[in-house]
Amino acid sequence: MEVTAANSIYYNPQDKLQPVKKELDKDAFLQILVAQLRYQNPMSPMDQDQFMTQMTQITALEQIMNLNKNMELLLKMEELSLSAGLVGRQVTVAGEDGGEVEGTVEKLVVDDNGLKLVVNGTPYDYDMVKEIRG
């Protein structure tokens, strides 16, 4: 009878690993709360006021996280709106070498790093604009 290794194709513990979270989210708080309820002393159960306080904190955290996501989206939309008005206009932007570059905004480009204005074929961040001419 042949015996296969413990790390064969049938068992791979790496599939069970989850990425490490660097910050606590609402799921982490819920897991902590459930663990507190599960392992509480039956002779001295958790205080109801404390339980309600924790539930309120979890709800507040969730609402703040939702508000933060919406504010980030609003900021991106505002930046896109302001930048769209610059297409075809003459601008002066701060160059990478510390000098200034003058030219016409040709187009907008959205990439992983955010919104870029293309001036003279080179992309620049919106916050690098120093002057806008009509």
pLDDT in tens, 42-74: 777 777 788 788 888 888 888 998 999 999 999
Boundaries of every domain in the chain: 23-84, 88-134
Band of pLDDT at residue 119, cut at 50, 70 and 90: very high
d(CA 77, CA 89) in angstroms, rounded, equals: 20
Instruction: Answer for the pair 62, 90: CB distance below 8 angstroms, yes or no.
Output: no
pTM of the entire structure? 0.52
SS3 content of the chain, % helix, strand, coil (to 5): 45, 25, 35
Band of pLDDT at residue 115, cut at 50, 70 and 90: confident
pLDDT: which is higher, 128 or 44: 128
